[in-house]
Structures are given as structure tokens and as C-alpha cells.
């Protein structure tokens, strides 16, 4: 599994190659049983540890009107018996400087919005 992030104007670029994902995400995030905004998502959260609640999505609410992480989702596919997803380039406008994401958690969610993977960004 690999996830990289880099500087974008007022946000981040994400690229990833993930495996071990939820097969229910083959159809993408729509149709989550509870309509969870985290369904099949990859999001930076306010939290600074994967041992605790990750908190809300990380972005500057005074500069960005709608949660920019709502559109940061994946669609999985089956490859050699594993659920995988790849994205070469995804831009997320956070309304803040790139340097502010270091130390925050990035979380991968399943179809229900539950956490299936977490890492602290360096």
C-alpha cells in the first residue's frame, strides 16, 4: 500500500495505491446504508493519533464553505483476489497552507464510513 501527499495551492494533492479495501466500495460511496459522509473515503482528519477518535475532517471552515473531503472517495476493484484502488492525482482545497497537515491523521473508510486504515502524516 502506498499513499503520498504533496503541496497544492491552499491544500494537498493525494495519490495512492491501496489494497485490502471494502468490496462494497466497488460501486463507490453512493448508497451507503446510513448515508455516511465518510463512505469509501480517504480523508485527513483533525486528529493527531490513530489510537483515538480522528475527529472531524481537517480544513479551514472560514475559507471553504463545503467540506472538501466529501468528494475524496475511492472505488475499489478486485485484482488477484484483493480489493484495490488507485488514484494518480486528487486535489483537495483545504483553505490553508500545506504545512498545516503534518501531524494530522489520514483515514481510509469502508462503505459504512467506519475506519479501516489510519496513519499520521509526516
Q: What is the pLDDT of residues 9-29, one digit of tens each?
A: 778 888 888 999 999 999 888
Residue stretches of the chain with pLDDT short of 70: 1, 30-35
Q: What angle do CA 46, 10, 49 make, to 5 degrees?
A: 20
Q: Return the pLDDT at 31.
A: 56
Q: What angle do CA 122, 111, 29 make, to 5 degrees?
A: 90
Across 1-122, the runs of DSSP E, i.e. the strands, are 2-8, 11-19, 42-45, 77-79, 82-93, 105-109, 115-120
Q: Return the pLDDT at 32.
A: 47
pTM of the prediction? 0.87
Q: What is the pLDDT of residues 80-90, one digit of tens each?
A: 999 989 887 78
- Distance from C-alpha of 44 to C-alpha of 31, rounded to nearest angstrom: 22
* Residue 43 CB partners (closer than 8 Å, separation 6+): 57, 58, 69, 72, 106, 107, 109
Please provide the distance, in angstroms rounded to a whole number, between the alpha carbons at the two ends of the chain: 16
Amino acid at each position: 500500500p502506498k499513499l503520498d501527499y504533496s503541496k497544492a495551492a491552499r491544500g494537498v494533492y493525494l495519490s495512492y495505491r491501496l489494497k485490502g479495501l471494502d468490496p462494497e466500495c466497488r460501486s463507490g460511496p453512493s448508497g451507503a446504508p446510513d448515508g455516511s459522509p465518510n463512505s469509501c473515503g480517504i480523508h485527513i482528519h483533525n486528529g493527531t493519533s490513530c489510537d483515538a477518535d480522528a475527529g472531524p475532517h481537517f480544513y479551514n471552515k472560514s475559507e471553504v464553505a463545503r467540506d472538501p473531503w466529501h468528494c475524496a472517495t475511492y472505488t475499489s476493484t478486485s485484482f488477484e483476489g484483493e480489493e484495490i484502488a488507485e488514484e494518480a492525482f486528487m486535489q483537495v482545497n483545504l483553505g490553508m497552507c500545506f504545512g498545516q497537515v503534518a501531524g494530522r491523521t489520514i483515514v481510509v473508510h469502508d462503505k459504512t464510513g467506519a475506519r479501516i486504515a489510519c496513519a499520521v502524516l509526516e
